[in-house]
Amino acid sequence: MTLPKTMKCLVKAKAEKGLWLEQRPVPEIEPDEVLIKVERTAICGTDMHIYKWDDWAKNNVLVGLITGHEYSGHVAAVGSGVRRVDVGQKVTGEGHVVGNRSRNARAGRFHLDPDTKGIGVNLPGAFAEYLALPEFNVIPLKDDVPLEIGAIMDPLGNAVHTALSFDLVGEDVLITGAGPIGIMAAAVAEEAGARRVVLTDINDWRLEFASKVAPKTRLVNVINENLRDVMTEIGMNEGFDVGLEMSGAEPAFNQMLDHMIMGGNIAMLGIPAKPFPVDFGKIVGKALTVRGIYGRQMYETWYKMIALLDSGLDVSAMITHRFEARDFQKAFDLMETGKTGKVILDWNAI
Ligand code: NAD
Ligand code: ZN
């Protein structure tokens, strides 16, 4: 197959709200890189920060960047040194490109490498017809994994990594924040053998939607319902064994502290918008463990994620909308309403 010289892509072309569809050269690949023909992408909260051009985006993203990091497609070309990946293979990829200098990278703890750069944040992204990616980052997909599921495996990986940070078998789990990651974490916790899963939010639309993806989870709008009463109703008399914080909201974290069992474990993925005070007396008094979670484990989380999908985890209901990539503006407008699950862009007909 001869590759085109140029491609269409979504670029942060101006320091203002929006993304712009541009024509750019198809990336050239290094010997250790793979060229992916991107076919489906999903829109992430991070993309919305870049789209809106908020303070985080202004401080972390350079104007001119091709955005996007949730994607799937087929391999279009491989560099001369590539051994593990073949042209034509269905793939997705890890969006964190790691260095090889730090202590953690040298020790194989790639997800803890401080030199990590993000596709679609610091490096050219996947909202494009073609993406160049190190072979190391490429994740082959089996034929029975739909492309659009491949495109949401990046946030699913956050959910899996956080949910599996602590043993869930037979445990009572509290998840705060029913965003896409919190909802998928509830589905993972159900699948992984938790006894009771409770998912909280303050947004009824999100909780109603969560019931489609995680049907066995008890959904709680903490504005209308008292969490202690819910615990009594579902037969809990102590506290949650495991907490997964997935909102970044101060009240959610404080509520979690108040409803944990003595000796419980908290995995914290949510990123607070600004620092907030924490009552460490509660953490000490309850002998809690609080673990920060960043990204996902390379590549153990991918292995587990594929295994969970193989063994019946179904997150297809997470995808609520599909658009042609050329209609990206409609997709971003819809994302801004907050009333969506994952929104997919199809790059095949652009
Ligand atoms: P999201 O913003 O879509 O979802 C957060 C949800 O929390 C929203 O539905 C919101 O209504 C809810 N919420 C707000 N206040 C609440 C409260 N008091 N109680 C319960 N819920 C409340 O986010 P997402 O895309 O699902 O991501 C989840 C979090 O994880 C975000 O904070 C995001 O920044 C963070 N994140 C972290 C990493 C990492 O590597 N650590 C990676 C991806 C995302
Ligand atoms: Zn993402």
What is the domain extent for residue 326? 6-152+315-346
Domain match, 135 and 238 both: no
Q: Cα(10) to centroid of ligand 1, in Å?
A: 25
pLDDT, position 273: 86
Smallest CA separation from ligand 1 atom 23, residue = 179
Query: What is the number of the ligand 1 atom nearest to the C-alpha of 292?
Result: 41
3-class state of residue 292 by DSSP: strand
**For residue 166, which of 248, 239, 237, 243 has the smallest C-alpha distance?**
243
Average pLDDT for consecutive 10-residue bins of the chain (350 residues)? 93 98 98 98 96 95 98 98 97 96 97 96 98 98 96 98 98 98 98 97 97 98 98 97 97 98 98 92 98 95 96 96 98 96 96
Whole-number Å distance, alpha carbon 69 to ligand 2 midpoint, is 6
In terms of domains, do 263 and 323 share one?
Answer: no
Exposed/middle/buried for residue 180 (C-beta within 10 Å: 0-12, 13-18, 19+): buried
Q: List ligand 1's pocket residues with C-beta within 6 A.
A: 45, 158, 176-182, 200-203, 206, 222, 246-249, 251-252, 269-271, 293-295
What Å distances lie between residue 148 and 187, 229, 241, 324, 346, CA to CA? 18, 39, 34, 13, 9
Ion ligand 2 residues within 5 Å by Cβ: 44, 154
Catalytic residue among 2, 6, 41, 49: 49
* 163 and 146 together in one domain: no
Closest ligand 1 atom to the C-alpha of 176?
20
For residue 269, give the CATH number of its domain. Answer: 3.40.50.720
Q: How far apart are CA 224 and CA 203, in angstroms?
A: 11
Q: What is the pLDDT of residue 246?
A: 98
User: Is 49 an active-site residue?
Assistant: yes
**Same-domain pairing of 98 and 213:** no
- Measured by CA distance, the residue closest to atom 1 of ligand 1 is 179
304 domain-assigned: no
Residues 121, 254 within the same domain: no
Shortest-distance ligand to the CA of residue 186: 1
**Looking at residue 1, what is its pLDDT?**
67
- % helix, strand, coil for the chain, step of 5: 30, 25, 40
Q: Of ligand 1's atoms, which has the minimum distance to the CA of residue 294?
A: 40
Task: Record the tokens describing residue 26, joined without a space.
Answer: 């198809």
At 129, which CATH number? 3.90.180.10
| pLDDT for res 45 | 93
Pair 280, 196 in one domain:
yes
Residue 307 lies in a domain: no
How far apart CA 47 and CA 230 sit, in angstroms, is 35
- Among residues 147, 88, 150, which one has the least CA distance to residue 306? 150
SS3 77: strand
In a domain, 301, yes or no: no
